[in-house]
Amino acid sequence: MEHRELSQSSMTLDGMTWREKVFYGSGGMGKDFASAMFNTYLLIFYTDVLGLAGGVAGAVIMVSKSIDAISNPIVGVMVDRTNSRWGKFRPYLFVIPIPLAVFSVLTFTAPDLGTAALVAYALITYNLAGLCFTIYDVAIMGMVPSLSGSLKDRGHLISSVRTFGQAAVLLVSTIALPMVAFLGQGDDTRGYVLLMCILGIGIIGSGWLTFFNTKERRTTSVTPPALRDYKRVVFKNKEVLSLFVMIIIFGLTMGLPGASGVYHVEYFLGRPDLVPLYMFIANGALVIGVVLSGFFLPKLGNKKASLSYIVGTMIFSSIMFFLAGWSIPLFLAALAFAQFLVGVGFVSFTGMVAEMTDYTEWKTTKRSDGVLFSLLAFGLQLGPAIASGLFGVVLDWVGYVANQPVQTETTMFWINAMRTLAPVAVCVPMLLLIRQYPINNPKEYQQLMQKLEKNKSTISN
């Protein structure tokens, strides 16, 4: 593939077709087939199928993501320094889906082992699946700046990949438990394995669709920073650090409802039959938010959209706390509004990272797309991991008993509080952190791009 220097024309119009945007977005399904199972069903698989205690299961997830904290920046550095005939990012979308599919199946396999061996098995398989997920995620999300410099195109690309990704989450979260029951015929262990084999085929096919139908057309003469420079480029940049913390909290606000959602419907609402409907509404509304955000974000801007998500989450989650014990239909309606805003936040926070790659280059003269998008991947994995670990500890603390239809009043209260009020609490620091984000609207971003191009022209002359 021929590389060309970044020019003004490439910044404003890169000639992307809708076909390219759709096939790029289709790659989001692969990684989110896996993430939907990890974020929604892994904790309950560990407690109710593998037989681990809630605290132990939560600890496995948290430890795995702590290890992932080390691997994410390393993956970002690796991607930043990749240079092949297929580009910087695309090669990973051909290779990585295969091991991601294999280790995802193994993660949801329940071997006949003792408790200590089961914990070790869970740690190994989930860590390897998580590493493959990270590489896949950094590659596909990091492609955005290399595909187009147009703010409008980037908005479409991010909306496309998030739409396909959340469509995968919608599909998997809705049908997972019915499919486990159908495939297992009374044996959940067998059902989970067969379901993951089917999803594994989807993981591979999705990644390959993007690999064969996209082209990295936008490159720059700016070289990646040396390893020793990453601390200065990224970790001594207060704007990047603030954004990184916000992304972790964003992941936490999604992870808390994700980890507790099935427990909440089965035990607090007392309606296990509503789990598929609950998942359909939650993820369907999220997909709608992702799709529609692609149309209004180019005018509204990522910062204002993210602020709308923060405030809206605090409002609707608070309302859901009271509605859950009063009216299931109204609770589900509030859920739909809250999840619509999650979809908007998905796109806007990703857009902020894309903007930050250009801001960091302007500020430091170094470009580090891979590392910055690895921080996005890390934050969106670490937040749900912390949520799962915390919720697992809470389950042990309040006396949750697996597979027992009737729980104590204390257990019921905390399941409801963790599903609804906990996201409100963690949103508070985001209101302060978002003030640090330096790009307030699309006009300021265009001015930044003009300054960046002017700097490039000065250097080249």
Between 43-57, 199-213, 226-240, the lowest mean confidence (pLDDT) is in 226-240
Instruction: Determine the 3-state secondary structure of 271 from DSSP.
Output: coil
Domains of the chain from N-terminus onward: 20-216+227-448 (1.20.1250.20)
pLDDT single digits (tens) 274-304: 998 998 999 889 889 988 887 888 888 999 9
The pLDDT of residue 147: 78
Cα–Cα distance measured from residue 306 to residue 309, given in angstroms and rounded to the nearest whole number? 5
Average of pLDDT values for 185-200?
Answer: 94
The pLDDT of residue 67: 77
More confident of the two residues 98 and 460: 98
369: its two tokens: 């797309």
Average of pLDDT values for 183-200?
Answer: 94
pLDDT single digits (tens) 243-266: 989 999 999 998 899 889 989 999
Burial class (CB in 10 A: 0-12, 13-18, 19+), 259: buried
Nearest Cα to Cα of residue 48 among 273, 263, 195: 263
Average of pLDDT values for 62-88?
Answer: 76
Nearest Cα to Cα of residue 168 among 25, 268, 301: 25
Cα–Cα distance measured from residue 391 to residue 268, given in angstroms and rounded to the nearest whole number? 15
The pLDDT mean for the chain works out to 84
Main-chain phi, psi angles of 2, to 5 degrees: -80, 140
Cβ–Cβ < 8 Å for 135, 75: yes
More confident of the two residues 374 and 87: 87
More confident of the two residues 244 and 231: 244
Residue 359 confidence class, pLDDT cut points 50, 70, 90: confident
pLDDT exceeds 70 at position 169: yes
Sign of CA dihedral 430, 435, 441, 442: negative
328: its two tokens: 């299931």
Average of pLDDT values for 154-176?
Answer: 84
79: its two tokens: 């991607």
Between 23-32, 37-46, 145-154, 217-226, the lowest mean confidence (pLDDT) is in 217-226
More confident of the two residues 226 and 315: 315
pLDDT single digits (tens) 102-139: 999 999 999 988 889 999 999 999 999 988 988 898 88
- Side chain identity at residue 59, one-letter code: A
More confident of the two residues 53 and 197: 197
DSSP state of 402: T
pLDDT exceeds 60 at position 12: no
Cβ–Cβ < 8 Å for 265, 275: yes
